Copies of this chain bind each other. A is one copy, B any other.
Amino acid sequence: MPSKLLRKLEGLIPLSEAERRALEGLAAHARTRSFRPREDIVPEGDRPTECSLILDGFACRYKLLADGKRQIMSFQLAGDITDLHAFLLGELDHGIGALTPCKVAMLPHDTLQEVAQEHPRIAQALWRDTLIDGAVFREWMIGIGRRSARGRIAHLLCEVLTRLKAVGLAEELSCELPITQSDLGDALGLSVVHVNRVLQELRGEGLITLRGKLLVVNDWTGLEAAGQFDPSYLFPPTVRRASGAGRDVRHADLRPFAPSLGVGGAAERQP
C-alpha cells in the first residue's frame, strides 16, 4: 500500500520509480511517535529538528489568543507534513496539536534535505505542497471573513471530504470525521452552540448525515452550493487532471528541474 504522502505528492507532480522508492524509504525508516488527543505535536515557538509527517489521525495548526481563545487555521490529515515550514524558517509561529490519537513519523531535517537534494523533483513537489497550503489558508480566510456560519460549515465539510478522498481515506460520499464540534467552532470562528445548531439544520435539510464520527453526504451538490465550494484551489492547474497518476511516468514527463531554490517553477508549465 502506498503511503498517504506518496499518494498526495503524486497528485502534485508525476514521480519516477526511483523517486517513489526514496519517498517510501523516507517514511519507512523514520522513528514514529504517538500522540493523545489535545496533545501538542509541535508546540508554538518550537525549533524542531525533525519534520512531522502525519501517518494516522487528525491534527491541526492553531494559535492561542491572550484570552485563551483558540483559532484553528487548518486541519492536518494523513500524508501532511505539518511543519515543513519550520524546516525552512527555523521556528514555528504556531502550534500543531493532535485532535484525535495520532501516529506521526519524525523525519529528520538532515534526511529530508538529502532526499530533496538527490531528487529535486521531490523537493519541488514538497514546495508546491507548502504553496497549496497557503491557498488553503486563503480560502479558509474567505470563509471566516465573508461566509455565513452555514456556508462556512458546509465549505469545511466539503474540503475535508475532498482532501481525505485525495489520500484514499474516504469513500465517494462519506468519511470519518472524528473531531468534536468545539474543534469545528475553533476552526471556523464560531461558538460550539452555534455549530451544533447549524449542523442540525444541515441534517434537517437532508444534506448530510452526521452520527458519531461518521459523516455521510447525502446531497453533494446541495452541500457544495451551500458552501460555494470549488475544489480547484486544492489542485493546482499544472496537474489538475493527473491522467497518469498511479502509473509510472514516461521519461518525457520528467522535465528538467532547475536547481537552486527551484526557481524554475515557472518553466514547469504543462502545454
Residues of A within 8 A of B (CB): 47, 49, 61, 63, 65-66, 69-71, 73, 85, 87-91, 93-94, 109, 112-113, 116-117, 120, 123-124, 126-128, 130-131, 133-135, 137-138, 140-142, 144-147, 188-189, 228, 232-233, 236-238, 258-269
Name the B residues within 8 Å of A144 (CB-CB). 141, 144-145, 189
A145 near B189 (CB under 8 angstroms)? yes
Name the B residues within 8 Å of A130 (CB-CB). 131, 134
A228 near B65 (CB under 8 angstroms)? yes
Minimum C-beta distance from A66 to chain B (A): 5
* Copies of chain A in the complex: 2
- Choose among A91, A135, A238, A262 the residue with the greatest number of B CB atoms under 10 Å from its CB: A262
* 7 further A-B pairs in the complex, CB-CB below 8 A; given A123-B263, A146-B189: A88-B128, A113-B258, A113-B263, A113-B267, A116-B263, A117-B258, A133-B134
Give the complex CA separation of A141 and B146 in angstroms: 12
Give the complex CA separation of A87 and B138 in angstroms: 18
Listed from nearest, the 9 A-B pairs whose CB atoms lie closest are A145-B189, A88-B265, A123-B261, A261-B262, A109-B266, A116-B263, A259-B260, A71-B142, A91-B237
